């Protein structure tokens, strides 16, 4: 089934988000703008993800009319602390050691922009990691791609396959785009 959405712009360089939209059968083009991802203090984790996602959308406000711009931001939270993208291998070890044997939340906020109107939503998934060893973490650093991901892991990569015991919530949300909710919101947004 082909979609009948207006032209879609995905404002993300994430290959995972691009692949998910393709799998959904949604035609889109990619447009990128650099956006400052700092946020005000005092926001809750969902508010942070929404703030950054909306900031990304507002960067396109003057550039598009009938097209729908999709932006997103994914954060990983454990015990109220946000785990961003790792800075180096030492940081990967620190982050994954923190996740080891614990539950964390993955929050993805998505914003839709069309004709100056922004509609945003977010999804939360709980991810349960089994205890992993330092050797497993080092193997992932050498053979995976932890550097470009919030929380230093991809659920669809080796470490996700061997370490994640279960999730409560959307799998695609953990990948970086809650596809079921996005489709529903796009249908309602038209």
Write out the two tokens for 130: 């089994």
How far apart are alpha carbons 26 and 58 in whole angstroms?
A: 22
**Phi, psi for 54 (deg, rounded to 5):** -70, -35
Q: Active-site residue 73, yes or no?
A: yes
Location of structure tokens 């596809």: 179
CA-CA-CA-CA torsion sign (110, 113, 114, 117): positive
Single out the catalytic residue among 73, 88, 89, 148. 73
How far apart are alpha carbons 152 and 68 in whole angstroms?
A: 30
Q: Cβ-count burial of 27 within 10 angstroms (0-12 exposed, 13-18 middle, 19+ buried)?
A: exposed
* DSSP code of residue 149: S
Active site residues: 73
């Amino acid at each position: 089934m082909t979609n009948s959405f207006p032209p879609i712009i995905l404002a993300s360089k994430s290959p995972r988000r691009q692949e998910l939209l393709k799998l959904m059968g949604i035609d889109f083009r990619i447009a990128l703008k650099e956006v400052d991802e700092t946020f005000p203090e005092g926001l809750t984790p969902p508010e942070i993800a929404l703030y950054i996602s909306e900031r990304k959308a507002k960067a396109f406000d003057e550039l598009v009319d009938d097209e729908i711009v999709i932006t997103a931001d994914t954060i990983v939270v454990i015990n109220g602390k946000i785990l961003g993208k790792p800075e180096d291998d030492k940081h990967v070890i620190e982050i994954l050691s923190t996740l080891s044997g614990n539950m964390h939340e993955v929050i993805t906020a998505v914003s839709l922009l069309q004709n100056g109107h922004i509609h945003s939503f977010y999804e939360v998934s709980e991810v349960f990691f089994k205890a992993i060893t330092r050797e497993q973490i080092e193997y992932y650093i050498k053979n995976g791609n932890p550097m470009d991901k919030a929380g230093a892991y991809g659920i669809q990569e080796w470490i996700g396959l061997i370490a994640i015991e279960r999730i409560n919530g959307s799998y695609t949300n953990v990948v970086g785009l809650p596809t079921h909710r996005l489709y529903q919101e796009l249908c309602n947004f038209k």
